[in-house]
Structure 1
């Protein structure tokens, strides 16, 4: 705002007075010159008349005209000087204002007058100064806002990459190390460590750490007791612990491997309503953890905790599945071993037809020509049951890729068919066994006579099991030892 002070108002009167005198002089000078010329000419005329001279009146007229012309010229010159005295400062000030409006806000108007033009120039300078101050303030706010947006962008990028990592990595050790490296990189931290609770829940054990310090701590088996230090405190209280100046935190436990730590934070890892560990973050800067950083790191810690819990469950399920597969493979192997006890090794097809291959014939089988031999294993539930071998006549040439692919497809279907046949055979045997047990039980329960029950039982068992001899003995009631032997009292 332009403020007019009283002294400037007083000084401005000089400009108006000078301008007024210039124009007054320009207006009165011709009158004065012409009047003076007329007075002089009339005086000369009067003198000539007294002297009796006979000067011509034309000379007097020329003198008057010359005086008038000179007066007009002088008035024009004075008017031009007066106009330039006013217009030149205004034109310079207008040029300065125009350049300022075009963006040259560092430009200032010259203030070398104490009149209205000087006051206007000072007002332009004051306005320009206010513009520079306002623009500088806006630039500072824009830069600050830009830094905040860049920080938020980095945090968002970190969250996306952590999400990608936890969605693609299921190995617990690889996942923990990848997470701490991503957090350290995107948050520009000095050290990031990930602690998980021990099985007894009394210790927080370091599972991943960044840099050489992290490797050293992992080698040492670094762990923190729950309830002590920032990590133990955050686990016990289920809250983040922030030390803006690490040296002044009363419960912080320093480590010689990280001497440059200036500020530190610890965030609990929460998954499905329980604490599974903590995320430790250290920085070389004081007060490195503002509200935005704290909220983002805690959200990321919860996200990582859920991913770690899912990875642990996946590992347990995979181990259980592997154990089940091994048990099923053993069961399958035993079942096939039982089926193959009848002595049949396989079948052989040649010009004489299809013939069985018995164990006694296996060693006497003529070796096939290895050049034209195609041997494919028969795999049933990850177990190699046998193989299928085929040989082509020499005149038909070697096996083509199409023929090999067709044989592989047939072997796959054969494996499925063999396993289905085994399962069907086992089902039939199981059904027959259940039926036999049911028949024997029905016949035994059909009578209430003790002798008939015993006779029926031994008779049906002998018939069902194809045994030639058997007996049932009733010796009374007594104790039985751990080996099943009876002890009479």
Structure 2
């Protein structure tokens, strides 16, 4: 973020001027307040003297209760510009005489002041609405016989204070302005060389390293100019080096970004052919290459076949299935044969370059091996119309990109193989499941169940299914791993109307859950049956091995087999007759048999 900064030629006078203004302002404020306080003290002393003299004059008339004399004395105040009101009260607060010119205090305030004056035995003051209300007790000897209250108008005092302010402010402002102007002139003269250096530094900051650096002014400013000029020279040298490094870093950053995009493509695309096409297009567009090709070694290991390309001639080369002999033809053949990268700075005269009519403008080429799990699976071929477009510094970054491509190709191929194996396993398991269901249906007398309002009954054959053929019906197959093992057929009442999509979707969901439950039950029964057979075989075998007598073994075997399988008859015969001879029961007598 850039913040605005003030110039020294402006900031210096401004700071000094503000300082002067503050100083004069403080001085003026103190002066005005001191003057106001002095004036107020003087006026208050004068008013208090007037009040005290008047109180002494009224002592005798008040003690004689001569109200007319009191009123006459008060009338003497009439016409005074600074007296707005005067009154005399007895000790009980009753007004005996008064005059009013402009303003009269409230009765409660006047009475309160009179009470305070009598209580304190001295003069009390209170400022109210621009008036000074002063009250003094009237004494006759040691006895207080009343109070004298005079209201002094302070308008004249305030006008005098305001006049002093009005005179002082322009004076302070004029002096401050003169000082600011003098400081500004001095600052401009002093900071002119600094301003020139700042302008030169600003040009350097904009990239103009040829700007002249002035070296004038004071010794310190001249030294600063010399240092700035030395810095400009160093920056010129560093800038040239940085331009070269930035070009190299930008190229590497583009390579790394392309590598990251290849990684993203590898995670989002699992089809090998689509992945190769996207990667080839990505490399050509990102780096503006003349041609980008991705070759993969075929199953025989003899040919490097172009699988994806982008740029000039790509479509024609893919259409004719362009391929190069591994270890023999072109840079790609060299790379796929030896597993080493190869750079052709000028592909035309390169001794191992395979002339390609589809790419007539190629001037430089680089090919890098694609390795996956230690094997060379192909090559990344990049061509440019500029001579010497590739350097040794590009090899490390491009090889990282090639390794990323190879790993993505290998993962995509591995994913396809896993998908094919998984699909084959699913088909095999589905076939086994179908055979198991066929065997189970064949051995079960009940083929299903029928349910209506009257209850649920088993179905032994399809002809047992009955219902009203005119009612809306729907049949949904019951599938286990893609094999149909049954059907759910249901009807709605006639007044319910046709089946809605929501009802059909619900039935399909329930059918899927039924198929899962049936398959789980079949697997459980199959496991139980297998466990029963294994247990039975183990028990019979254990009993037969309890003796070494041949007759006892045969007798035990016959009894256990008949009992375990619930057979009406079991025969075990030992014979050495030819294989072609059999008994009437079908048991083979050449090798022995069990019927």
State the TM-score, normalizing by the size of structure 1.
0.65
For residues 164 and 260 of structure 1, the distance between their equivalents in structure 2, rounded to whole angstroms, comes to 32
Q: Is the 8 A contact 1:105 1:131 kept in 2?
A: no
Partner secondary structure for residue 487 of structure 2: strand
Q: From the superposition, tell whether residues 467 and 269 of structure 1 become closer, same or farther in structure 2 (CA, over 3 Å).
A: farther
Structure 1 residue corresponding to 2:296, chosen from 180, 196, 203:
196
How many matched pairs? 372
Structure 2 residue corresponding to 1:346, chosen from 422, 425, 448:
448
Structure 2 residue corresponding to 1:253, chosen from 335, 354, 357:
354
Whether 1:155 and 2:260 are equivalent positions in the alignment is no
Shift of 1:215: 3.4
For residues 310 and 278 of structure 1, the distance between their equivalents in structure 2, rounded to whole angstroms, comes to 17
Alignment of 1:336-485 (within 5 A): 336-341=437-442, 342-361=444-463, 365-367=467-469, 369-370=471-472, 373=473, 375-396=475-496, 407-462=507-562, 464-465=564-565, 466=567, 468=569, 470-475=571-576
Partner secondary structure for residue 471 of structure 2: coil
Aligned to 2:345: 244
Structure 2 residue corresponding to 1:334, chosen from 435, 457, 461:
435
Task: Please give the per-residue CA displacement for 1:358-383, whole angstroms capped at 9, x wherever unaligned.
Answer: 3242575543623xx45444332333
For residues 198 and 401 of structure 2, the distance between their equivalents in structure 1, rounded to whole angstroms, comes to 53
Aligned to 2:400: 299
For residues 207 and 134 of structure 1, the distance between their equivalents in structure 2, rounded to whole angstroms, comes to 52
Q: Is the 8 A contact 1:271 1:306 kept in 2?
A: yes
For residues 470 and 447 of structure 2, the distance between their equivalents in structure 1, rounded to whole angstroms, comes to 17
Whether 1:235 and 2:336 are equivalent positions in the alignment is yes
Q: Is the 8 A contact 1:378 1:415 kept in 2?
A: yes
For residues 350 and 107 of structure 1, the distance between their equivalents in structure 2, rounded to whole angstroms, comes to 102
Q: Is the 8 A contact 1:267 1:279 kept in 2?
A: yes
Partner secondary structure for residue 161 of structure 1: helix
Q: Is the 8 A contact 2:575 2:590 kept in 1?
A: no
Task: Please give the per-residue CA displacement for 1:45-83, whole angstroms capped at 9, x wherever unaligned.
Answer: xxxxxxxxxxxxxxxxxxxxxxxxxxxxxxxxxxxxxxx
Q: From the superposition, tell whether residues 436 and 234 of structure 1 become closer, same or farther in structure 2 (CA, over 3 Å).
A: same
Aligned to 2:279: 179
Aligned to 2:325: 225
Q: List alignment gaps of at least 5 residues for structure 1.
A: 1-93, 109-128, 479-483
Q: From the superposition, tell whether residues 238 and 446 of structure 1 become closer, same or farther in structure 2 (CA, over 3 Å).
A: same
Partner secondary structure for residue 435 of structure 1: helix
For residues 428 and 347 of structure 1, the distance between their equivalents in structure 2, rounded to whole angstroms, comes to 24
For residues 363 and 395 of structure 1, the distance between their equivalents in structure 2, rounded to whole angstroms, comes to 22
Partner secondary structure for residue 410 of structure 1: helix
Shift of 1:167: 1.1
For residues 105 and 440 of structure 1, the distance between their equivalents in structure 2, rounded to whole angstroms, comes to 104
Quote the RMSD (CA, aligned, Å): 4.0
For residues 211 and 527 of structure 2, the distance between their equivalents in structure 1, rounded to whole angstroms, comes to 101
For residues 444 and 398 of structure 1, the distance between their equivalents in structure 2, rounded to whole angstroms, comes to 67
Aligned to 2:364: 263
Greater share of strand residues, 1 or 2?
2
Q: Is the 8 A contact 2:366 2:382 kept in 1?
A: yes
Q: Is the 8 A contact 1:374 1:389 kept in 2?
A: yes
Shift of 1:191: 1.6
Q: List alignment gaps of at least 5 residues for structure 2.
A: 1-192, 213-228, 580-587
Q: Is the 8 A contact 1:462 1:470 kept in 2?
A: no
Partner secondary structure for residue 329 of structure 1: helix
Q: Is the 8 A contact 2:256 2:401 kept in 1?
A: no
For residues 181 and 413 of structure 1, the distance between their equivalents in structure 2, rounded to whole angstroms, comes to 47
Q: Is the 8 A contact 2:254 2:286 kept in 1?
A: yes
State the TM-score, normalizing by the size of structure 2.
0.54
Q: From the superposition, tell whether residues 461 and 198 of structure 1 become closer, same or farther in structure 2 (CA, over 3 Å).
A: farther
For residues 555 and 321 of structure 2, the distance between their equivalents in structure 1, rounded to whole angstroms, comes to 72
Q: Is the 8 A contact 2:450 2:456 kept in 1?
A: yes
Aligned to 2:316: 216
Aligned to 1:48: none
